[in-house]
Amino acid sequence: MTEQKKFKRVEESQVTISELMLPNRSNFNGKIHGGYVLSLLDQIAFACASKHSATYCVTASVDTVDFLAPIEIGELLTMKASVNYVGRSSMVIGIRVETENIQTGEKKHCNSSYFTMVAKDDNGKSVEVPGLILDNDHDIRRFTKSIKRINYKKKRANQFDETDFVSENYLHMLEDYKVIIER
């Protein structure tokens, strides 16, 4: 890490993009297609992580993509991405999606999501990323929430790592669901 800074401020890597939502991005219901929004989310996460690490980055995982409100044709969509957390080679990029009705000025929060990105060298090996300088309560809160989310994800992964799965041990869990078991 001799060529780049050892620590960077959050705002040094922030990225904001805006795009007018056109009819060719809509689904059969006349709303902007969620898949298109996911593609934009991945692009801005890449840009933010690459800006922070000064290297190529790949998407390792996506946590909690919650679609909170539909995005309408003709609205101005704005995405804001920040590095919320850094590990050795990974970064959690927090992204907030808002839209604005350009005629009325009404704004709405449509989505929040968290992408884990990993910095790579030209040979595809993970490389160390700069640390973060947290200079306000907002940055500290986002960093610590990321730690909690990472720990929760590890705990959840361990709960589902069942190599000794026997279906009979779980049949009682299915009693309240709309399933028919035929074997």
Q: According to the model, what pLDDT value does residue 122 have?
A: 94
What is the tens place of the pLDDT at every residue in 8-54?
999 999 999 999 999 999 999 999 999 999 999 999 999 999 999 99
Label the pairing between strands 56-67 and 15-20: unpaired
Q: According to the model, what pLDDT value does residue 162 have?
A: 66
Q: According to the model, what pLDDT value does residue 2 have?
A: 45
178 in any annotated domain:
no
The Cα 10–Cα 28 span in angstroms is: 39
> What tokens does 105 get?
């000025």
Q: What is the 3-state secondary structure (H, E, C) of 108-168?
A: EEEEEEEEEEEEECCCCCECCCCEEECCCHHHHHHHHHHHHHHHHHHHHHHHCCCCCCCHH
Number of compact structural domains in the chain: 1
For residue 115, what are the domain limits? Answer: 7-163
Low-confidence ranges of the chain (pLDDT < 70): 1-4, 162-164
183 in any annotated domain:
no
Q: According to the model, what pLDDT value does residue 1 have?
A: 45
The Cα 144–Cα 88 span in angstroms is: 16
171 in any annotated domain:
no
Q: According to the model, what pLDDT value does residue 5 have?
A: 81
CATH of the domain at 159: 3.10.129.10
176 in any annotated domain:
no
29 in any annotated domain:
yes
Instruction: Please report, to the nearest 10 degrees, the dihedral formed by the alpha carbons of residues 7, 10, 11, 16 taken in order.
Output: 130
User: Can you give the pTM of this predicted structure?
Assistant: 0.88
